Each structure stands twice: as C-alpha cells, then as structure tokens.
Amino acid sequence: MKSPIEKFLEDVHHETLKINGGEPASYIPELATVNPDLFGITLATVDGYVYETGDTRTNFSIQSISKPFTYALALEDIGFEAVDEKIDVEPSGDSFNEISLEPGTGRPMNPMINAGAIAAVSLVRGGTNGSRPTRILNAYSSYAGRDLDIDDDVFTSELVNGHRNRAIGHMLRNFGILETDPNPVLKDYFMQCSVQVDCRDLAVMAATLANNGVNPFIGQRVMEVDVVERVLSVMTTCGMYDAAGEWVTSVGMPAKSGVGGGIIAVLPGQVGLAVFAPPLDAFGHSVRGMAACERISRELELHFVRAGRTGRSTVRSSYPITNAPSGIRRNDESAEVLEEHGYRARVLELQGDLLFAGAEAMVRAITELPADVEHVVLDIRRVDEVAEISLRMLVSAWQELKNENRTLLLVDPESKVASYLESTPEHEKSPVPVFDTRSGAVEWCESTLIRRYGNELCLPSKVEARNSPALGTMSDADANALQELMVERTYDAGDIIRRVGQKFGGVHFIESGTVAGFLRDTSGDRVQTAKLSAGMTFGELALGSEDRQETTVKAVGKVSIKLLEAATIDTLEEENPRLSVALWKALTRDAYVRVDQQLREMAVRTRD
C-alpha cells in the first residue's frame, strides 16, 4: 500500500518540475556543468524513516549547507564563548559572499555567510597537524550516517577560482579573526564545500538536527543538544541570507541552502527535509527547491507556528484482535475461525497530538501493515489535538485501503475524526464504521471474519441449550437431561433480564437472540462489558461474587432463553450428585475460557 505522504511528494515533484528559471552556479566552473533538470525531494523522520522521490541518489557538492555543521563542530571543540569572540550571530541582510564584518571588532556577522564560515573552519581543532579536513569529513559522515567523500573536481575548481573567498580570508586575517596564514584555512573551507552528498544524505543530516543531535538512522548522538539549539537558531535567522525573512514567513523552518542546488529544512522534534535542483535564483537558492519547500510546508503544516508541539509517540500500540477479543463468547467453530484468521484484523491505538509527525506515524503504521490485514481499527480515544493535515492524510490512507478492498474502522466516541470523514464525498459511497468502544469495533471485525471464513455452524441463529458450548464436555444424555430441567423465558428488546445486585438466579442458556451486559465505571458512566448470542450462557458468574450479580443484562432484540433455576440446581445436587458434578465441571471449563480472554485484554491495556 502506497503511503499518502509518498504520493504527495510525488505530486509536488511532478508539479514543481514544470517550473523553469534560474541557472546553475557559474562562478565555480565545475558547478556550471551540472544537469539542470535534476530534481529530488527527501523527507526523513526523527524515528528513522525516509520518503523520497526524484533524483535523490545523485551526488552533488554540499557547498554552503556545510556551514551549520562546521559551526557546530567549532562550538563543540572550543566552546560557545570562544566562538562568539570570533563570529557574531546577527542577520547580515547581505548575500552569502559579502565581506560583512562587524564595525570595530571585524567579526563576521554570522557563521552562515562565507566570512563567518571561513572563520568557523579556523576554529575547528586539528589545523596545525593537517587533521582538520579529516575531522570535518568524519563529522559530516556521522551526521549523514554513512561515509562521505570529496568531489576532487569541484575541490580543484574551488581552489583555482575562489578569489573572492581568498579576499575574505585575508580580510579576516587583517582583523585578527584568523590568527594564522589564511591559505590553509581557505583550502580546508574549499574542501568542506566540495563534500559529495545526495538528497537523502542531507535529509538524514537535517533529521539529526531535528532529533536533538541523535542520528535517528544509526541511533548515536553526534551533536550535543545545546549546540543543536544554537545552530538551529542561527539557521532560522541567517541560513537563507538576504531572503531569510521571506523564508521564515512562507516556510517557517530553520534552513540552509547551497549553490550546489541543495536546501535543508528542519522541523525540530519531527522531520528533516532536503531538496536538490541545480538552477538558482538571484539569492543563490534553488528555484525549484524553494517552490517545493513552500508547498510542502504549507500543505503538510510544517511551519513552526503550526507544528510547535511534538507530543508523545503517536502510535501507542498495534496488535491483532486475537490479543484483545471483543468479549463475545463464541462457539467452538467460531473460535477456531478467529484463531486462524484473527490476524486479518488489527487495532492501532493512537495517543497525543495528531500534527504532521503524528499523522506521518499513523499513516506509516497503516501502510506498513501486511497485505493480508483486511480490517484496520483506528482507536483515537487518547488523541488530543487533530490538525487539518492529519485529517487529509487519513482520508488518503482510507482511500488507499478501499482501493485494496480493505476496511477502516474508527473508535471515536467524541467524533474528533469521524465528523470530518463523514463530510467527504467518499463517505457517501462507503461509510467508515464508527464505534464508541474498542470492543464494539473488534466485535464487528470478528463477526465479519467469521462470516467470510466460517460456515453455517459459526453464527447459528438458534442453539438449543443442550448444544451450548458451556456444556460441551458433557455427554449427550447428560446435556439432554439438564435441558429437561430448564424453564423457557422470552424477552423483548430492551427488557432487563438481570440487574446488578441480584442474588444468583440460575444459569441462563441463550437459544436465540442477543443480550448485552453493562456496568458502571468509576465515573458513573454505563459501559458495555460483553455481548452474548445464541449458544452462550450468563448468570453463573454471580456464584463467584458472593452470589451477587455484578452486571445488568439487557435483551438486544427478541431473546429466547432456557433457564436452569437456582432452586433446580440445589435439588440436582441432592438427587443426582453425578450430574451435578458434570454440570459444574462444564461450567468451570467455560469460565476459564472467559478468564483467559479477560487476561489477554488486560495484557493489551497495561502493556504500554
């Protein structure tokens, strides 16, 4: 099943590819030879999942996207105070290659412009013994989660043609920002700009920043949290140079561009975004990359103002319905069907906020379900805020499920999602079943699976008391003898058969129809505990509760019952002890089956 996010990115790629304009960077001759039609988009989540479309595995040079990562390395090497003495953190309002220095001190305005980036390189340890380029490359590799290399052709082109950067380097030496010969520093700067990456590498590096410095794909901390905080702050105000204001307004994520055609954007706690398209605008930013980022941010609601709360892990748990049955007691034939086919229905319990990151986790959990899962129960009772993008993504996932003849069900008593789905044209054609309780949704799945994979014995409309599963261990003669001792009772829809607090009144054998059991929870609300149909029994559990009925039992529709009264059981114990013992053995066995169901239910509820 294709993810709605993957499909969305493909649509963005297809539409944005039509945008023309801009030219690849020409002041570095090697960059001017890049194919201008290349275009890739990659989205990486903080839990280590990648969505990508287009030319995402094509290598290109990282260029200025390297700047925040070298700045981070300098901060970790010599500390914030020492770095701040050499590089300010103020927006310059100038283009990336301006000689923008602070009056009086000569400090570069920030580490994102070339002057600040060259200064940052000089602060990375290892410059005296020639190990600085290796340290920088190793650091980038740890951020990307794989070994990166240098593009020698780009490096040579930078080295031969980087006259303006040389002028910046000597200016920094003049003001004492560079304390030694600028040429080795410049060489290392050209090297870092020539590191080969692809779009996926950049998305992983962005996701590492989004994940507070822990690379989500290798599970290692590669950058300290306070450093990430500083780097993202400077990227927000300075990363897009003289277009920073427009970027924050339209996209709203810390970002960095490079003249190689790449852009990274970071939504802390949620995702890293990377795009690659070589033609640049007047600011040195990828034309198609800017357009793609704006649309992705707008339609996925990634602007930091909208997506400010991360929340807890959205998918609380995922399990087949056999792990937590509905509470309906099934006959042996039905139980066998559910044992064999119950995995075809699965419950996904959600919690927290359904903003983009939560919606992404939700639809990923749905799309990654095996193809033989026919029914998906989405339990959203623990969900708090639901963003518009989450609703749209759920509709897309729902459509994909329908296309594969699979069913989506909602447990949504407060209609946080159901009301939106009901307003869609798709709902008129194929409504989503909505339930107040998880048990109700699971019951629907059970009955559907039994009808599909079972036979006429699984869901009988009438079962004589002597054929009840509760008496399954008894001989036919004993079961017939017991039925002779029973009295018949009939009830109409809504009739109360047993009330909470009543003394043990006997064992009720349902021959046709359905009954439901209810009790009050700690808030005083009535909760359905079970639904029983033909062949099932009730009433006997009162014997384990000091002869006190613990639930109210009500008829659902017309019900026919055979009742083995309490007085009859007492007489049976005196007059036919053997038959009495056989009865209690059968009922005890049946009770253990129900206890096992309840224990599995408790395991699911307390597991997380």
Token digits of residue 190: 């050209």
Percent of the chain with pLDDT over 70: 92
Predicted confidence (pLDDT) at residue 464 exceeds the cutoff of 50: yes
Quote the pLDDT of residue 292. 98
Token digits of residue 267: 């939504």
Check 140, 241, 343, 491 and give the catalytic one: 241
Please compute the mean of the pLDDT values over residues 72-93 and round it to a whole number.
93
Model confidence, pTM: 0.77
Alpha-carbon gap, residue 261 to 318, rounded angstroms = 41
Predicted confidence (pLDDT) at residue 589 exceeds the cutoff of 70: yes
Please compute the mean of the pLDDT values over residues 381-390 and round it to a whole number.
90
- Helix/strand/coil for 16: helix
Using a 10 angstrom Cβ sphere, with 0-12 exposed, 13-18 middle and 19 or more buried, the burial of residue 523 is: exposed
Predicted confidence (pLDDT) at residue 424 exceeds the cutoff of 50: yes
Query: Could you tell me the pLDDT band of residue 608, with boundaries at 50, 70 and 90?
Result: very low
Please compute the mean of the pLDDT values over residues 98-107 and round it to a whole number.
77
Predicted confidence (pLDDT) at residue 492 exceeds the cutoff of 50: yes
The segment with the largest mean pLDDT, out of 132-136, 197-201, 513-517, is 197-201
Predicted confidence (pLDDT) at residue 594 exceeds the cutoff of 80: no
512 flagged as catalytic: no
Query: Could you tell me the pLDDT band of residue 600, with boundaries at 50, 70 and 90?
Result: low
* pLDDT tens column, 277-310: 999 999 899 999 999 999 999 999 999 887 655 4
* pLDDT tens column, 541-569: 766 555 677 789 999 999 999 999 999 99
Report the DSSP beta bridge partners of residue 594: none
**Of the candidate ranges 9-18, 97-106, 219-228, 488-497, the one whose mean pLDDT is the lowest:** 97-106
Alpha-carbon gap, residue 235 to 257, rounded angstroms = 10
Please compute the mean of the pLDDT values over residues 257-261 and round it to a whole number.
96
More confident site: 216 or 598: 216
Superfamily of domain 465-606: Jelly Rolls (2.60.120.10)
The H or E element that residue 357 is part of is helix 356-367
Predicted confidence (pLDDT) at residue 332 exceeds the cutoff of 90: no
Please compute the mean of the pLDDT values over residues 377-392 and round it to a whole number.
92
Query: Could you tell me the pLDDT band of residue 312, with boundaries at 50, 70 and 90?
Result: very low
Predicted confidence (pLDDT) at residue 489 exceeds the cutoff of 80: yes
Nearest by Cα to 541 from 530, 528, 551, 532: 551
Query: Could you tell me the pLDDT band of residue 518, with boundaries at 50, 70 and 90?
Result: confident
Token digits of residue 90: 């103020």
Quote the pLDDT of residue 591. 75
Quote the pLDDT of residue 549. 74
Asked if the 4-300 domain carries CATH number 3.40.50.300, the reply is no
Nearest by Cα to 144 from 190, 195, 188, 191: 195
Predicted confidence (pLDDT) at residue 104 exceeds the cutoff of 90: no
More confident site: 571 or 456: 571
Quote the pLDDT of residue 604. 52
Please compute the mean of the pLDDT values over residues 42-46 and round it to a whole number.
96
Q: Look at strands 262-267 and 271-276 and give their pairing.
A: antiparallel
More confident site: 2 or 80: 80
Nearest by Cα to 194 from 257, 240, 148: 148
Query: Could you tell me the pLDDT band of residue 511, with boundaries at 50, 70 and 90?
Result: very high
**CATH architecture for the domain at 315-453:** 2-Layer Sandwich (3.30)
189 flagged as catalytic: yes
Mean residue pLDDT across the chain: 90
Query: Could you tell me the pLDDT band of residue 27, with boundaries at 50, 70 and 90?
Result: confident
Check 89, 214, 222, 259 and give the catalytic one: 259
Please compute the mean of the pLDDT values over residues 258-285 and round it to a whole number.
95
In the chain, what is the straight-line distance between the N-terminal and C-terminal CA atoms, in Å? 28
Tokens 């079961």 locate to: 479
Alpha-carbon gap, residue 18 to 572, rounded angstroms = 86
Check 64, 194, 390, 533 and give the catalytic one: 64
259 flagged as catalytic: yes
CATH topology identical between 4-300 and 315-453:
no
Contact 303, 297 (CB under 8 A): yes
- Helix/strand/coil for 424: coil
More confident site: 424 or 328: 424
Write down the domain spans for the chain: 4-300, 315-453, 465-606
Quote the pLDDT of residue 311. 42
Please compute the mean of the pLDDT values over residues 565-594 and round it to a whole number.
88
Alpha-carbon gap, residue 17 to 40, rounded angstroms = 10
CA atoms within 13 A on the CB side of 80: 9
Q: Look at strands 407-411 and 434-435 and give their pairing.
A: parallel
* pLDDT tens column, 118-174: 999 999 998 666 689 999 999 999 999 999 999 999 999 999 999 999 999 999 999
Nearest by Cα to 274 from 95, 30, 55: 55
Q: What are phi and psi of 518, to 5 degrees?
A: -135, 150
Check 12, 51, 67, 395 and give the catalytic one: 67
Query: Could you tell me the pLDDT band of residue 508, with boundaries at 50, 70 and 90?
Result: very high
The H or E element that residue 536 is part of is none
The H or E element that residue 122 is part of is helix 114-123
Quote the pLDDT of residue 535. 86
